[in-house]
Amino acid sequence: MKKVITNGRLVLPYGIKEGSVLIEDGKIADVSFGTSPSPSDAEIIDAGGKYVSPGFIDMHTHGGGGYDFMDGSVDDIYGACRAHLEHGTTTIMPTSMTSTEESLYSFIELFNTVELVKDGCPEILGLHLEGPYFAPSQSGAQDPRYLRNPRPEEYNRVLEMTDRIKRWSFAVELPGSDAFLSVLKKHGILSSAAHTDADCHQIFNAFANGVELMTHFYSCMTTVKRVNAYRVAGAIEAGYLLDDMYVEIIADGRHLPKELLKLICKVKGTDRVCLITDSMRAAGMPDGEYWLGQEGSGVRCIKEEGVAKLPDRSAFAGSVATTDLLVRNMVELADLPLYEAVKMATLVPARLLRVDDRKGVLAAGRDADILIFDDSIDISKIILRGEVLR
């Protein structure tokens, strides 16, 4: 049956306009502005003057709702996905943690059995491998016992096991990283600089050779330092200088204070900045102790004060954010117009992931993944592939 969303304020990449959205066969069939008659055979969804937005895309999340994507079962993967759907994530990219070689292979085998499009779940675009090729000095909450340099026998086996890897984050300066990057390019996998000791020029070189993104910008990467009395620019400065380099930010209000959120948007603009949760299982859960990674063998952490921390409180351990919070913070903390904040959680990641022909914007032919929310980004209705969930 056709559905039409009426009486809404449509959030578009360039502004907000009153209008309606026609849905048919799981797709957006038409978008019209102003007041126009609805088809007589359509179910009417009255937005009540609220905002109508594309569904959010989270391309970096480790879990939520008490589930971690590395817990070891398909049900845990679906559970984490559903938890994020409740907060507006209609497209998701499950993310791994650094682990043993055997655990990595087991995770890949499990992920191969997952239904990427499942009723009541966000669409799973594919897998994001975060690690294990990281600089030990920038490990953050990644278990330092399992960090290693890129090994052809390992990553080639992984790539033979699956075609579902869509993104891989690694430290671009490690021995063997150039050959690894070349292999990722051949497979069409998005390469991202992460947990890295690279200086500015090493990031420049990586960008020239195909790295398109910087993982959780500012977190676990270098900045200006002195070497033999001379200042040397780091990875952060490279991220600013490279106009076409995408960066992703954890806009939870903890990893980056409002001043840095504003600075990033002022220098980079909003067309190359993606909002990500980098959430762990405690997202959407009460304060307390949780495992980051597989329960019982991952990294213990504590959720408190709106963030996850290592037990000694020396560093953050991922976030406990959800995508609605990210958008809200970019409006309230970074003083962005709503349509710009929404774009960073929809169209920008869709473009980076090469799915903007079907996601990320309210336009004819796109998937009917649609949210209705108020001025506080409190979501009142979720429409997933044309089906009204609530």
The alpha helices in the chain, defined as continuous H runs, are: 74-85, 101-111, 152-161, 177-186, 200-208, 235-241, 258-268, 323-332, 338-344, 347-352
User: What is 188-238 written as a DSSP string?
Assistant: TPEEEE-SB--BHHHHHHHHHTT--EETTTTTTB---EEETTEEE-BHHHH
Cα end-to-end distance, the chain, whole Å: 17
- CA atoms of 14 and 339, how far apart (whole Å): 7
Low-confidence ranges of the chain (pLDDT < 50): none
Dihedral Cα 82, 87, 90, 92, nearest 10 deg: -70
- CA atoms of 57 and 126, how far apart (whole Å): 12
The predicted pLDDT at position 294 comes to: 83
pLDDT in tens, 300-335: 899 998 899 988 888 888 899 999 999 999 999 999
Q: Are 290 and 303 a contacting pair, CB within 8 Å?
A: yes
The predicted pLDDT at position 34 comes to: 85
The predicted pLDDT at position 214 comes to: 98
Nearest 5°: the CA angle 265, 344, 83 is 130
Domain ranges of the chain: 2-53+365-388, 56-352
- CA atoms of 118 and 124, how far apart (whole Å): 9
The predicted pLDDT at position 293 comes to: 82
CATH class of 56-352: alpha beta
- CA atoms of 155 and 230, how far apart (whole Å): 38
The predicted pLDDT at position 243 comes to: 97
**Residue 123: strand, helix, or coil:** strand
The predicted pLDDT at position 281 comes to: 94
The predicted pLDDT at position 390 comes to: 81
How many CB atoms are closer than 10 A to CB 262?
A: 16
Q: From residue 299, give the alpha-carbon distance in Å to each of 153, 239, 279.
A: 27, 29, 14
The predicted pLDDT at position 140 comes to: 85
The predicted pLDDT at position 161 comes to: 97
Superfamily of domain 2-53+365-388 in the CATH hierarchy: Urease, subunit C, domain 1 (2.30.40.10)
